[in-house]
Structure 1
Amino acid sequence: MASWTHSKEKLNNVTEFVFWGLSQNPEVEEACFVVFSFFYVVILLGNFLIMLAVCHGNLFKMPMYFFLNFLSFVDICYSSVTAPKMIADILAQNKTISYEGCMLQLFGVHFFGCTEIFILTVMAYDRYVAICKPLHYLTIMDRETCNKLLLGTWLGGFVHSIIQVALVVQLPFCGPNEIDHYFCDVHPVLKLACTDTYLVGVVVTANSGTIALGSFIILLISYTVILVSLRKQSAEGRRKALSTCGAHIAVVIIFFGPCTFMYMRPDTTFSEDKMVAVFYTIITPMLNPLIYTLRNAEVKNRMKKLWSRKVFWEVNSK
């Protein structure tokens, strides 16, 4: 038993991993640095402005904006797990990350990613109740229910990510230590394990794939029911509902399409994985503020008021 433990510890001699990044072409990397730096700034500013508009205008008292506020917060956290490291690595000669840092990044990606999936699902349920059961909306979606649903999204994301990390941590790594990706994700890391990872890969696919595909199907059914029920609404009611639901559906397609491609398959990796991952780690958190702001009159009005007060304060301070 002692010799087996000693041999396993000897196999775990990888203390850091090396990323290949998005590209090995210097010119492409320079372009990526400019583009993704801009994207990350938009993510931070856009989502922060939504949070500011919701909180400053007391919109969080309404369930839809209550969840939108936390979606923006999760988007900031989610992109921050991968984007700063990726941007810094573009300029670095050696794109390394410690073993512990890799596990933390893997945990963060799945924790915030899964939490976002559940928040989007809860937002779809909120729209279903608002449109299909308007007379009972405030009773069903009271503050206590909203808090419980929000707590459920965080707990669900935590349990999911703990499972993912626990599956990887118990594997031995003895080299090579080069990851063909720009962040630590389960499939690329599993390729480096010095043991058979077939069973682990099956569990990972069942766990992540079920959450991604299951939530996607639930969302499609929810929005289908909502769109069918709109036939009974007035023209103005249909316009408002379609405007709100259209934004949600756009986010769902952009986010869940790449997620389903990445996790609803066996333990394999493709060269396209890095570009697909960009969609759900960077593009979606960047587009969420734009989509919800442009398609939501209430948020736009609150932002205009914030801007007007800022301009008024600057004029009076001179």
Structure 2
Amino acid sequence: MPTNVSLLATPENSTVWNPFTGPLKTIEAWNFHLLAALMFVVTSLSIAENFIVILVTAKFKQLRQPLNYIIVNLSVADFLVSVIGGTISIATNSRGYFYLGSWACVLEGFAVTFFGIVALWSLSVLAFERYIVICRPLGNLRLQGKHSALAIIFVWVFSFVWTIPPTMGWSSYTTSKIGTTCEPNWYSGEMRDHTYIITFLTTCFVFPLLVIFMSYGKLMRKLRKVSDTQGRLGSTRKPEKEVTRMVVIMILAFLICWTPYAAFSILITAHPTIDLDPRLAAIPAFFAKTASMYNPIIYVYMNKQFRRCLYQMFNINDPEAKESNLNPTSERGVLTRNNNGGEMLAIATHITSSAVTNREEEKSSSNSFAHIPVSDNKVCPM
């Protein structure tokens, strides 16, 4: 049965080696077995972690808040990447070639790319939502469920628009050089394929990366400004330090997972005839797939509100509860805000209250200054 070239393309050396009929002879079998084992670990952890996120969110009502919708959407996308792409990758690597056939190659290439871009854009929307909640550029407009729902619809539609073209003739999905995974056709030298790759990388990597950097950059400037004000008033910098650590970890994880794949894609697109070891060419795609394992840890398990619900669901003693009991007065207000809207909303409320305190302090200082006797209030001549 002939292969539909509008859906699938094979590397240029396909006349010598067909990835659908047997493994690449230049690579020893243990390399494929190692990749299969690594993918089994990553896929198992990803499926378990993201399923727990979805399950806990469904069980605890306090987690079903607008700020958490996009986090659940991220977990759904990562879960689907692992269920479809991860399981296929385990099966093909265990045999050393794509024995499932060309239809499975198109399925894996589209599914991994589609759900991967949904997850990637979810990270960008999450950063933008946090910027909206904390910096409040829209004034008193609060983030509601309908806003988060529209953001999720945008993410899925936008991702579908830019990942479906290879199945319709604009570029294609092809096997990688190692022959056990499928991806967009970076290897083609045709201008039609180049235009798609350039457009795809711009809309699905450069744009979300800019949104993440701009949103978190503005958020950090806002927190630092408030922290400096609190420093003058004798308050703590703990919220700023916690959020700074979280933001740095998020950005580093994003860059570690996606930058190698994007750089590899640009390199292959610019020099499609470059001679790379197939094992080396497989590393960037592997790093990108590990994002589904890191995301739940970084974006969910670092959330105090989610951790407490997780402890409760599995009947685990909450170590943070003991700390709260030692100082219940200082924790009570924070816990109440966390139950109503999450930690980001708590930080936003903290910033607002700090601003009010600062204004009251300045007003009090100006009134006291006005009542100083004229002889003590005059400016000394130079």
- Residue in 1 that maps onto 2:190: 198
> Where does 1:56-135 land on structure 2 (aligned, <5 Å)?
56-92=59-95, 94-133=97-136
Q: Distance in 2 between matches of 1:12 and 1:288?
A: 31
Unaligned runs of 5+ in 1: 1-7, 192-196, 311-318
Question: What aligned pairs does 1:1-318 form with structure 2 within 5 A after superposition?
Answer: 17-18=19-20, 20=23, 24-92=27-95, 94-133=97-136, 139-167=141-169, 179-187=177-185, 191=188, 197-211=189-203, 212-234=205-227, 235-265=237-267, 266=269, 268=272, 270-271=276-277, 272-281=280-289, 283-308=290-315
Report the alpha carbon displacement of residue 47 of structure 1 after superposing the two structures with TM.
0.9
Structure 2 CA distance, aligned partners of 1:153 and 1:9? 29
Which structure carries more helix by proportion?
A: 1
In structure 2, the CA distance between the partners of 1:128 and 1:180, relative to structure 1 (3 Å rule), is: same
Give the secondary-structure state (helix, strand or coil) at the position aligned to 1:141: coil
**Shift in Å, 1:277:** 0.6
How many corresponding residue pairs? 290
Greater Cα shift, 116-125 or 270-279: 270-279
**What's the CA shift for 1:24?**
2.7
Q: Which has the higher contact order (CA 8 A, sep 6+)?
A: 1
Q: Deviations over 1:256-313 (max 9, x none)?
A: 31342133342536433310110112x1111112223442211211110111089xxx
- Unaligned runs of at least 5 residues, structure 2: 11-17, 228-236, 318-382
Is the Cα contact below 8 Å between 2:98 and 2:179 reproduced in 1?
A: no
How far does residue 159 in structure 1 lie from its aligned partner after superposition? 0.4
In structure 2, distance between residues paired with 1:246 and 1:59: 27
How high is the TM-score relative to the length of structure 1?
A: 0.78
Equivalent-residue separation in structure 1 for 2:119 and 2:6 (angstroms): 36
Q: Name the larger-Rg structure.
A: 2
Q: Give the secondary structure class of the aligned counterpart of 2:296.
A: helix
Among all aligned residue pairs of Structure 1 and Structure 2, give the percentage whose two residues are the same amino acid. Answer: 17
Residue 77 of structure 1 deviates from its aligned partner by 0.9
Per-residue CA deviations over 1:210-230 (Å, capped at 9, x if unaligned) read 021222122112211111111
- Structure 1 segments of 4+ aligned residues over 6 angstroms from their partners: 8-16
TM-score by length of 2: 0.66
Equivalent residues of 2:39, 2:90 under 8 A apart: yes
1:23-42 CA-partner distances (Å, limit 9, x unpaired): 93233333333332122111
- Structure 1 residues 255 and 170: CA distance shift in structure 2, 3 A: closer
- What amino acid maps onto 1:208 in structure 2? F
Tell me, yes or no, if the aligned pair for 2:57 and 2:64 is still in contact at 8 Å: no
Aligned letter for 1:24?
Answer: I
Superposed displacement of residue 161, structure 1:
0.9
CA RMSD after TM alignment: 3.5
